[in-house]
Structure 1
Amino acid sequence: MAQKYHFVILKKFRRGDYDGKSFKFIHRAEKEDLRLSERTLDTVLSDLINDGKIVCKDGKFYLTDKERLKLSAREEEKVVGKLRCNERGFGFVVVEGDKDYYVSPDLMGQALDTDIVECRVLPGKNGANDAAEIIKVVERGFTSIVGTFFNEGGNSYVRPDDRAYLADIYIPNGLHSGAEVGDKVFVAIEKFPKNRCPEGKINAIIGKANDFSTEEECMLYSSGVFRTFDEKVMAEAKSIEQKVGDNRLIGRLDLRNKLIFTIDGDNSKDYDDAVSLEESKNGNYLLGVHIADVTAYVKFKGEIDKEAFERGTSVYLPDRVIPMLPFELSNGICSLNEGVDRLTVSVFTEIDKLGNVLSSQIFESVINSKHRMTYNNVDGIIDGNEVLRTKYADIAPVVDKMNELRLILEKRRKEAGYVELDVREGDITLDGGKINISLHKATPATKLIEQFMILANEQVAEYLFYGNYPCVFRVHEKPSPEKLENLKKFLNALGIRVPWRKDEIFSSDFARLLLSVAEKPTFAVVNRTVLRSMQKAYYSTENEGHFGLASKCYCHFTSPIRRYPDLTVHRILKAALNGDISAINDLYEDFSTLAANNSSDREKRAEECERNVDDLYKAKFMEDKIGEKFDGIISGVIANGLFVELQNTCEGFVPLDLLPVGKYTFDADTYRLYSSKRSFKLGDKVKIIVVSADFASRRVDFALVDEKSCVKKKKVVK
C-alpha cells in the first residue's frame, strides 16, 4: 500500500521540501497532498531509510550523501503520472502529490488520454521544471471507448466522442459487427501498434448519431455504467425468498407493532430508511432510524455482492434508475414497503430539548412500516392541511414532534459550525416525453429526513470508531491552503475580512462568513465561491472527520440499497454487535480499505454520468427556447466568456463576441472579466437571450440582452 508513495516522497526530499524536516512537518504536509496517515508515512520513511535514500538524525530526516551526489551529478529527473490531454493536441501529466507537467504535442509520443506514463522532466525558465517529455507508456488508460463509425479510403475507423482522445480507432475487416457509417458504437481497443492508430473491434452498435436516446446510451457506455445484470447475478437474486421467514427473526428486536413509517419522494420505489419518534420517560426525544438490513440477503463475495462492489452505487437519471442491486432486492425483499415485515438495523438515539445526544443503542431488528409517506404529504401535515391530518391522524402528532426535533437538531448543528451552503440543483421530470426542469427546493420534510439520517450515520461511525473497529468513513477535509488563499483574495476584493487565521480554519469560520453576508447582495457570489473552495468528500478507513457537517466522526450507513460503502459498514457493524471479532479481522479489515477506494472511484463515475445526462436533457429542453429571454446569474467566468445559470438551473455560455464591444481582461483572483467600459463578475445578475442549443454536444449559448455585441472576436489579456 505504501509502496506507491515512495517515489513522490523521495522526489520532495530531492527537491529540498523535506530535507532537514521533522516527521510532524512532513505528515502535516502530506495530509494535504497525499492524505497519508501517520502509520503509512512512518512505513514510507522507514523503507526509504532501509533503501539508503534518507537518514534520520535528531528527529529530522535528510538525504544520504549518496543521494546528494546523484543530485550534484544532475541525474536526469523522471516522473510517473496520468496523462490528461486537450483536444488541441497538448496535455498535462498529473503526478499524485506533486505538480502537473505540461507536454507539448510533439513530445506526446504514442501516449493517449488517461494513460499512465513515464516522463523526462525538462528544464524550464528560472529553474522551474514545469514541462516534460513522455518516454514510455506504463499502462494504457482507455481500453474501450464510444465513438462514430466512418469509412475513409476503404478503411474503417471510429472517431471517439471524447475529443481529448487524440486518435481514431482502426477497425480491421471482419470486426465491424454490422456497423454502418454514422452509427454510434462501443469499441474495445485491442492493439496499440507503433506509429499507427490503435486497433479495435466493435462490441456494440448503440444507435444512430444525433438521436437523443442514442446520445444518452452513449454516456452510459462511456461512464462504464452497467445497465443489466448477468445470469449468475439474476439466478442468485431469484433464489432469495420474498417473505421474511420466522427463522430470520431469531435474535432480532421485534418492532413490528411500533408506529414506524417511511418518508420518500413521490416517485421513489426503493425504501431503505424508516423513522419513528417517541417521548422517553424523562421527557426527552427517542428517535428511531430503521435501515434495511440488505446484508441479511447479500452474501459477502457472492455473485450479487461482487456485482454491487463493481457498480458501487445506483445511478439516478431523469428517465430511469440503474440500481446497484437487482429489482428482487432493491424493490422487493430489502425495500421497507408499507404493511410487510422487513429486516432492519435500528439506531435509537435519546436527545434532550437542546439537541444534545444523551445515549444511543443499535439493534438488529424487524419492522412493519405503517405508512409509505411522501415528502409532499409530510409537508402538508406540517403546514396544517386538515385533509392530510385527518387521513394520517395516527402519525400527524408524531410528524409535528419530528419537525420540532428537526428544528432543534438544525440549530444545534449550526452552533457546531455546520456549513449551510445554498446548493442549486435542478429537478428534471418527464411528462409524456415532455421535459420539465425546475429548481429543487428543500422543504421541512426533506430537511427532517436529512437531519435524522446524519445523526444515525454519526452514531454508527462513533460506535465503530470508539470501539476500535474498522469502518469506511465518509471524509470531508478542510479546504487546501491554495484554495483558502484564493478565497481570501476574492473576499478581500469584495471588502470582506476573512474570519480565520492563516494556518488554521474550522467549519465554524465558513458558517460565520456565510451568516455575515446572508442578507447582503453579495451572498450569492460568496456562497458560490465558498462552494468552489470546498474539497470533494471521499471514503476512507482513516477517520478525518467531515468539515462541511462539522462532524468529528461520520460514515454512510443509511442507504445500503443504493451505496456499497453502507453495505460494508453494515457488515462490520453487525459483526461488532454480535462479538464476531474473527469475521472483522479475517474478512472485513483489509477489505474495508479496498471498498473505500473503489467506492470513491465508482461515486465519481456515477456523478459524472448523472451530470452529463442532466446536461443532455437541459440542452434538449432549451432547444425550443431559442430567441426567448431569461433572467440569470453569472455562474462562471473564464478568459473566453461567461457562464450564466437560469433560475431553473439550466446553464449556457456567453462567448466574448456576444459581450459588449471592448478589450477584455480576465482576473482569475476575483472571477472577473472587464473592459474599460464594462465589468462582469461571478454572481452578477444579467438578462440573456437563448442563441443556440444542441443536445448532442450538450452546449447552450446565450447572448446578453440589450447589449451591443461586437462582430469580431476580442483579444483577452491574461
Structure 2
Amino acid sequence: MKTTVYNLIKRAPYKERTLIAMASNLHLSSKKDFQELTKTLDILIKENQIYKDKSGHYNILEKSEVLVTGRLDLKAQGYGFIVVEDKEMPDVYISRSNINSAMDNDLCLVKITNIKNKEKIEGSIEKVLERNLSVVVGEYYNGQIFPKDLHDDIALKLVKEDQKQVKNHQLIKAKIINYKHKYFKDCELIEVIGHVDDEGIETLEVVHKFNLINKFTAEEELFAKSVSQEVKEDEIIGRSDLRKETIFTIDSESTKDIDDAISIKKIKDDYLLGVHIADDSYYVKEDSILDKAAFYRGTSVYLADSVIPMLPKALSNGICSLNPRVDRLTLTCEMQINKKGEVVKYSIFPSVINSKYKMTYTNINKMLNDDQEIIEEYSDIYQDVLLMQELQNILFDIREKMGSIDFETLEPKLLFDEHGKLSDIVIRERQTAERMIEEFMLVANQVVATHIFNQKLPFIYRIHELPNAQKLENVFEFVKKLGYDNYEGDYSQENLQELLKAVENTTYEKVVTTLLLRSMSKARYSRENKGHYGLAFDNYTHFTSPIRRYPDLIVHRFLRKYVFNNDRFYNEKTIERLDEIAKQSSDTEKQAMNAEREVLDIKKAEYMENHINEEYQGVISSVLKFGMFIELPNTIEGLVHISSFKEQMQYDEVNMQLKSTESDKMYQIGQVVTIKVAKVNRLLGRIDFVLV
C-alpha cells in the first residue's frame, strides 16, 4: 500500500491530497482500511518521503527540501529554537507563527525554510513526533489554567466536571488529554497544590512542574526505617578494618548527607591517598523498593533552602552518611601517587571506617591560612591537611598539563536568617579546601573507570564529547572583535586553556567563560566510553556520591560484582539495563539542574524585591535585539529592555552591540554600566533594570 499512496500523492492535485480525499480516491470504506491509510502515511512521514503541511495536505518531500528532527526550546515570548539531533548543525529558529501547536521540549519534524548563513537557520514545525508536556502546572481562573511560562497562543481548558473542585487563584496540576486543537488543549485535574499567595508556593510550583518526586511512600519510609542505624560486627566480615586510621570528612557546614571521607600518608616520596565512599549498595539492593525509588529520582535535588533526597533520610542522613565517631561501611579507593601526579599503584576494596572529624571547608581553609586557634583545635590532623594541600597542587598541575579545562564560574550562595527568610546573596567561595576535595574525587573516579575499562566489562561512564565546532568558531570570532586573535580553527583543550588565561581578571572573563561553556557538549552518562573532553581524561565515571547520584550506586554494584566477588558474567539484559540507567540518569540530572536554576532565579527575584530603585554597577553579559542583560557582582542578572533607553537604539547583529541612532553611544558585552532596579516578577524569576 505504501507505493500506491506515495504515487497518489505524487500525481494528485493539491486539493485532493487530504486524508479524506485520498481515502475516497482509493475507494476505502471500512474503518480498518482507513486506519491502514493513516498508518501508511505516518510511515512515509517517518521515512522522510512525504510531509504534512499546516492545512492538512500531504506533499512529496523534494530532494531540495531539508527536514531535521530536534526538541523545541520554547521561549516565553512565543518563538523558539529547535535543538537539532545532529550536533554539528546550529539550532533552528522557529518564529511564533511557525510553532504550529508544538509545546516546549516536544520532539519535532522541522522543515528548513531559510538559511541566512552557516549559523542562522530558520524553519517551520511540520509535525510533532513526540509530546514532552503531558502535565501542566498553573494558576486556575474561570475554567482555564495559566502556567507561568506557556505562551499566550495556547489556552489550557479544565474539563467542566473538574472545575467544581477548584477555586480561582489556586495553583493546580493537570493532565493534557487532547492535543488536536492548535490553540487550546483540554485538561483533567490531577491535584490542587495550594493558593498562589501561599508561603513557598513558587518552589512547590517548580517541584510539580518538573515532576520531581518530593515525598517517599509510606512503604519506602518504613523500609528505610527498618534498616539498623548501627553497623553490626557480622557486617564487617570480609572488609578491611580502617577504624583506627586517621580518616575525616570535609564538607560545607550544612551538609548532612556525607558521601566521602579522606585519608593520607607519606610513603617515602609518594603519597598514599585514601578516598572512602559510603557503601549505599550494601543497603540498597538491586530491584528493591528503595532501588526503584532511587532509579526514578536519579539524583538528589538542591532547591535553594531545601533538599529533595534521592534516598530517605534514615539512609541519606543516617546509616549511609559518614558521620563522625560512628562506624560506617565504605568502599575504599587507595592510591599511591608519586611527585609527578602519577598513580603508581592502587587498590579498590570494601572497608569499614570511623571518621574522626566532620571538618568544614571553612575550618580547613583557616588552617591553611595559619589560623592558630583552628590548628590547635585539630592539631592531630594538621600535618595530614598540609600533605593534602601538597598533593592537591601536584594533581591540579598534572591535570592542567594534560589539557583539563578549569572553567572558573561564579556560583551564588543564598544566606537565610533565623526565620528562614532570604537575607543576602553572595559568591560561593572556592578556595584550597574545596579544590582539594575536588581533585581527590576526580582522581578516584578516574582510577575506578580505568580499572573496569581495562577489563573490557560493561560499565557506566561519565562522558563529555567533543564541543560543537561551529559554536566554538562563533566564540573565536567574537573574542577576535575584543582583541584576542589567533584562536580560530583549534579545538584542542590547550587552546581553550590559553584563551581563558588571556581573559582572566578582565571584564570579559565571565562572558567568555559562559560562551565557551555554551559551546561545550553536555556531559552525560553512557555505557560507551567516549572519554571526557573537559577533564582531558580517557576514562571517567562517577563513584564518589552514591547517596545523591544513582549512577554512583550502580558503579558500586559493579565493583562488588566484578572486583570483590570476581563475577564477570553479563548478558544482553545487562547491556540493555545499563543503557536504560544511563539515559534515565542523564535525563533526571538535566531535570534537576533546570529545577534548581529556576528556583534560584525565583529567589534572586525575591531578594531584589527589597531593592527596587537602588543603584548598582554591573557588566553587560549579553546584547540582543530587544535589549541587554546586566550581571551584578553577586551573579544576579536583569534585563535592560530596548524600550527603556532614552535614545533610539539599533541592534548591530554582526558586532553584538546596541548603538544609538541619535548620538555616538554604544553598548557591548563586557562593558561596565550603572543600573537601577526597576521592576521584579518573583513568580517568573525576572528582574528589569534601567540604565542610570
Partner of 1:420: 406
SS at match of 2:348: strand
Deviations 1:561-593 (A, max 9, x none): 001111111111221113544554476433222
Structure 2 residue aligned with 1:353, among 319, 339, 343? Answer: 339
Partner of 1:65: none
> What's the offset of the Cα at 1:552?
1.9
Which residue type is aligned with residue 603 of structure 1? Answer: E
Report if the CA contact (8 A) 2:278-2:330 is conserved: yes
Partner of 1:24: none
Cα RMSD between the aligned structures?
2.9
User: 1:616-627, aligned counterparts within 5 Å?
Assistant: 616-627=602-613
Evaluate the alpha carbon distance shift between residue 177 and residue 359 of structure 1 in structure 2; reply closer, same or farther with a 3 A threshold. Answer: farther
Q: Is 1:454 equivalent to 2:427 in the alignment?
A: no
> What's the offset of the Cα at 1:109?
5.3
Deviations 1:29-83 (A, max 9, x none): xxxxxxxxxxxxxxxxxxxxxx9x9xxxxxxxxxxxxxxxx99976987665544
Partner of 2:14: none
Partner of 2:525: 539
SS at match of 2:161: coil
Q: Is 1:330 equivalent to 2:316 in the alignment?
A: yes
Structure 2 residue aligned with 1:637, among 623, 646, 668? Answer: 623
Separation of aligned partners in 1, 2:348 and 2:427: 37
Partner of 1:610: 596
Report if the CA contact (8 A) 1:113-1:164 is conserved: no
Partner of 1:552: 538
Separation of aligned partners in 2, 1:696 and 1:592: 39
Separation of aligned partners in 2, 1:530 and 1:606: 22
Partner of 2:582: 596
* TM-score computed with the length of structure 2 as normaliser: 0.84
Evaluate the alpha carbon distance shift between residue 395 and residue 77 of structure 1 in structure 2; reply closer, same or farther with a 3 A threshold. Answer: closer
Evaluate the alpha carbon distance shift between residue 192 and residue 275 of structure 1 in structure 2; reply closer, same or farther with a 3 A threshold. Answer: same
* TM-score computed with the length of structure 1 as normaliser: 0.82
Which residue type is aligned with residue 693 of structure 1? Answer: V
Q: Is 1:272 equivalent to 2:264 in the alignment?
A: no
Structure 2 residue aligned with 1:674, among 659, 662, 667? Answer: 659
Which residue type is aligned with residue 439 of structure 2? Answer: Q
Partner of 1:319: 305
User: 1:8-27, aligned counterparts within 5 Å?
Assistant: none
Deviations 1:379-406 (A, max 9, x none): 1211222221121111111111111211
Separation of aligned partners in 1, 2:121 and 2:683: 40
Which residue type is aligned with residue 133 of structure 2? Answer: F
Evaluate the alpha carbon distance shift between residue 125 and residue 521 of structure 1 in structure 2; reply closer, same or farther with a 3 A threshold. Answer: closer
User: 1:203-242, aligned counterparts within 5 Å?
Assistant: 203-211=190-198, 213-242=200-229
Separation of aligned partners in 1, 2:114 and 2:506: 49
Report if the CA contact (8 A) 2:649-2:658 is conserved: no
Report if the CA contact (8 A) 1:478-1:506 is conserved: no
Report if the CA contact (8 A) 2:206-2:595 is conserved: yes
Q: Which moves more between the two structures, 101-110 or 376-385?
A: 101-110
> What's the offset of the Cα at 1:177?
6.7
Partner of 2:354: 368
Q: Is 1:142 equivalent to 2:136 in the alignment?
A: no
Which residue type is aligned with residue 148 of structure 1? Answer: E
Report if the CA contact (8 A) 1:662-1:677 is conserved: no
Evaluate the alpha carbon distance shift between residue 356 and residue 145 of structure 1 in structure 2; reply closer, same or farther with a 3 A threshold. Answer: same
Separation of aligned partners in 2, 1:174 and 1:72: 44
Q: Is 1:479 equivalent to 2:471 in the alignment?
A: no
Q: Which moves more between the two structures, 690-699 or 619-628?
A: 690-699
> What's the offset of the Cα at 1:608?
0.5
Partner of 2:146: 159
Evaluate the alpha carbon distance shift between residue 688 and residue 519 of structure 1 in structure 2; reply closer, same or farther with a 3 A threshold. Answer: closer
Evaluate the alpha carbon distance shift between residue 137 and residue 359 of structure 1 in structure 2; reply closer, same or farther with a 3 A threshold. Answer: same
Q: Is 1:96 equivalent to 2:85 in the alignment?
A: yes
SS at match of 1:278: strand
Structure 2 residue aligned with 1:257, among 226, 240, 244? Answer: 244
Separation of aligned partners in 1, 2:511 and 2:115: 37
Q: Is 1:291 equivalent to 2:277 in the alignment?
A: yes
Report if the CA contact (8 A) 2:472-2:491 is conserved: no
Report if the CA contact (8 A) 1:506-1:547 is conserved: no
Separation of aligned partners in 2, 1:450 and 1:660: 48
Evaluate the alpha carbon distance shift between residue 90 and residue 530 of structure 1 in structure 2; reply closer, same or farther with a 3 A threshold. Answer: closer
Deviations 1:658-715 (A, max 9, x none): 33514322335x443233512222222222111112211211111222xxxxxxxxxx
> What's the offset of the Cα at 1:373?
0.8
Partner of 2:457: 469
Evaluate the alpha carbon distance shift between residue 389 and residue 248 of structure 1 in structure 2; reply closer, same or farther with a 3 A threshold. Answer: same
SS at match of 2:257: coil
Separation of aligned partners in 2, 1:691 and 1:466: 59
Report if the CA contact (8 A) 1:541-1:593 is conserved: yes
Evaluate the alpha carbon distance shift between residue 241 and residue 192 of structure 1 in structure 2; reply closer, same or farther with a 3 A threshold. Answer: same
Separation of aligned partners in 1, 2:561 and 2:676: 59
Stretches of structure 1 lacking an aligned partner (at least 5 in a row)? 1-50, 54-69, 706-718
Q: Which moves more between the two structures, 86-95 or 576-585?
A: 86-95
Separation of aligned partners in 2, 1:446 and 1:129: 43
Q: Which moves more between the two structures, 421-430 or 676-685?
A: 676-685
Evaluate the alpha carbon distance shift between residue 468 and residue 218 of structure 1 in structure 2; reply closer, same or farther with a 3 A threshold. Answer: same
Separation of aligned partners in 2, 1:386 and 1:195: 69
Evaluate the alpha carbon distance shift between residue 177 and residue 419 of structure 1 in structure 2; reply closer, same or farther with a 3 A threshold. Answer: farther
Which residue type is aligned with residue 356 of structure 1? Answer: E
Stretches of structure 2 lacking an aligned partner (at least 5 in a row)? 1-46, 50-58
Separation of aligned partners in 1, 2:66 and 2:433: 58
Q: Is 1:690 equivalent to 2:690 in the alignment?
A: no
Separation of aligned partners in 2, 1:434 and 1:299: 40
Evaluate the alpha carbon distance shift between residue 177 and residue 477 of structure 1 in structure 2; reply closer, same or farther with a 3 A threshold. Answer: farther
Separation of aligned partners in 1, 2:683 and 2:169: 14
Separation of aligned partners in 2, 1:415 and 1:119: 43
Separation of aligned partners in 2, 1:111 and 1:533: 26
> What's the offset of the Cα at 1:513?
2.2
Separation of aligned partners in 2, 1:641 and 1:93: 23
Report if the CA contact (8 A) 1:507-1:547 is conserved: yes
Separation of aligned partners in 1, 2:79 and 2:674: 36
> What's the offset of the Cα at 1:641?
1.1
User: 1:116-131, aligned counterparts within 5 Å?
Assistant: 116-118=107-109, 130-131=122-123
Evaluate the alpha carbon distance shift between residue 277 and residue 105 of structure 1 in structure 2; reply closer, same or farther with a 3 A threshold. Answer: closer
Evaluate the alpha carbon distance shift between residue 416 and residue 114 of structure 1 in structure 2; reply closer, same or farther with a 3 A threshold. Answer: closer
Report if the CA contact (8 A) 2:174-2:187 is conserved: yes
The count of aligned residue pairs is 629
> What's the offset of the Cα at 1:182?
1.1
Separation of aligned partners in 2, 1:73 and 1:169: 37
Separation of aligned partners in 2, 1:184 and 1:124: 42
Evaluate the alpha carbon distance shift between residue 142 and residue 249 of structure 1 in structure 2; reply closer, same or farther with a 3 A threshold. Answer: same
Separation of aligned partners in 2, 1:454 and 1:559: 12
SS at match of 2:623: strand
> What's the offset of the Cα at 1:105?
5.8
Q: Is 1:652 equivalent to 2:638 in the alignment?
A: yes
> What's the offset of the Cα at 1:108?
5.5
Separation of aligned partners in 1, 2:63 and 2:687: 51
Separation of aligned partners in 2, 1:137 and 1:356: 51
Partner of 1:16: none
Evaluate the alpha carbon distance shift between residue 532 and residue 666 of structure 1 in structure 2; reply closer, same or farther with a 3 A threshold. Answer: farther
Separation of aligned partners in 2, 1:507 and 1:687: 36
Q: Is 1:179 equivalent to 2:166 in the alignment?
A: yes
User: 1:101-120, aligned counterparts within 5 Å?
Assistant: 111-118=102-109
> What's the offset of the Cα at 1:535?
2.5
SS at match of 2:562: helix
> What's the offset of the Cα at 1:92?
5.4
